[in-house]
Chains A and B, each alone.
Chain A
Amino acid sequence: MAEQTIDPIHQFHIDRIFEWHPFGIDASFTNASLFMLIIVLLAALLMIAGTSSRSLVPGRLQSAAEMTYEFVANTVHLSAGHDGMRFFPFVFSLFLFVLFSNLIGLVPYTFTVTSQIIVTFALAGFVISLVIVYGLFRHGLHFLKLFAPSGVSIFLAPFLILIEIISFLSRPISLSVRLFANMLAGHITLKVMGGFVAALLGAGAYAVIAPLPLLMVVILTAFELLVALLQAYVFAILTCVYLNDAIHPGH
């Protein structure tokens, strides 16, 4: 038990709950899958329960649901324009998934799904694939104008196009790494600070200064709450910005 409280990485360990290996692929139901299921159920519950009463004067749950809806709708409308609203369901689901997984991760003894880079990379890869597929579907080869800056001399153009392509390819990586790194670093810091409290309490006379890291844990928890909200928002707004490129590829 003492080992567990000191090891800050243990919280990210994936345990298989049900073993399942169809065709040699490890598709076991893990604690990560369990928490994804919980996230989806909670998000669905908030929306279904929040919109079921439909009263003119909203209650707590209904106003939470309505505020989330309006917030995301405004974000999409502002950064992707009127045409971007067709992607609203996608961005809204993405935002809710990231938000709930960040928030649930703050509860002790839970598993933070977004602290696994494969999860955030899958989300970001899905966003970028959607941008490419929709851009090509809607604009055909005109979509490739995205990579060609206008008004550049012909000698400089290949170089700039290469730069634009690399900059485009780095988007899913920066999008996923940002969310993953924020959640991972925050949770490790919290755990290390919590470990300090336990270690100081067991260190005889030094137990006097044990409240200091405890205070730090309290402050950091509030900060992590802010980070959790902010990162979900940033993920959603950058998705909108990238989708905007697919909708209006010209500069």
Chain B
Amino acid sequence: MAKEENDDDLRGRLDSLSTALDAQQKASQERNAVTGQTEEAGRSLAKAMNLGFRVLTEFVAAIGVGGLIGWKLDDWLKTSPLFLIVFLAIGTAAGFWSVYRIASQPTGGPGGSR
């Protein structure tokens, strides 16, 4: 008699334990989903900002280099402002070209080869 009672007792405790475990698991899953989402959002924001900054620096740097070359050529050949204008235009084209190259990359990895 005493043994059966013990079994019932044990079964009851097991049931309560498994429901508690289920609840715990569900809660942790939900928590993971929420933090996963925020983490994902943070990472994609960082990636997007990084890409934007890359495009910005490539574009500005190309124009800057073009302008610098034109300025120095003018300085050297005394043809101001012919080469400055020409090379600024070419630098702008080069900037667009760099941006196009970044944008046309397959989306596999950031900055894979061309």
Asked if A216 is at the interface (CB within 8 A of a chain B CB), the reply is: no
Asked if A5 is at the interface (CB within 8 A of a chain B CB), the reply is: no
CB pair B61–A79 under 8 Å, yes or no, is: no
CB pair A241–B65 under 8 Å, yes or no, is: no
CB pair A182–B53 under 8 Å, yes or no, is: yes
From B62, which residue of chain A is reached at the shortest CB distance? A170
Of the residues A166, A178, A226, contact of B62 by C-beta under 8 Å: A166
CB pair A234–B110 under 8 Å, yes or no, is: yes
Of the residues A162, A226, A241, A244, contact of B90 by C-beta under 8 Å: A162
Q: Within 8 Å CB of B54, what residues of A? A: 174, 178, 234
Asked if A238 is at the interface (CB within 8 A of a chain B CB), the reply is: yes
User: In residues 178-232 of chain A, which contact B (Cβ within 8 Å)?
Assistant: 178, 181-182, 226-227, 230
Interface size on A, residues (CB 8 A): 29
Asked if B28 is at the interface (CB within 8 A of a chain A CB), the reply is: no
Asked if A177 is at the interface (CB within 8 A of a chain B CB), the reply is: yes
How many whole Å from B46's CB to the nearest CB in chain A? Answer: 5
User: In residues 11-37 of chain B, which contact A (Cβ within 8 Å)?
Assistant: none
CB pair A166–B112 under 8 Å, yes or no, is: no
Interface of A toward B, CB cutoff 8 Å: 78-80, 159, 162-164, 166-167, 169-171, 173-174, 177-178, 181-182, 226-227, 230, 234, 237-238, 241, 244-245, 248, 251
Question: Given A170-B91, A173-B64, A226-B46, list of 19 further CB < 8 A pairs?
Answer: A79-B113, A80-B113, A162-B90, A163-B93, A163-B94, A164-B94, A166-B66, A166-B87, A167-B95, A170-B94, A170-B98, A174-B58, A174-B60, A181-B53, A181-B57, A226-B42, A234-B110, A241-B113, A248-B113
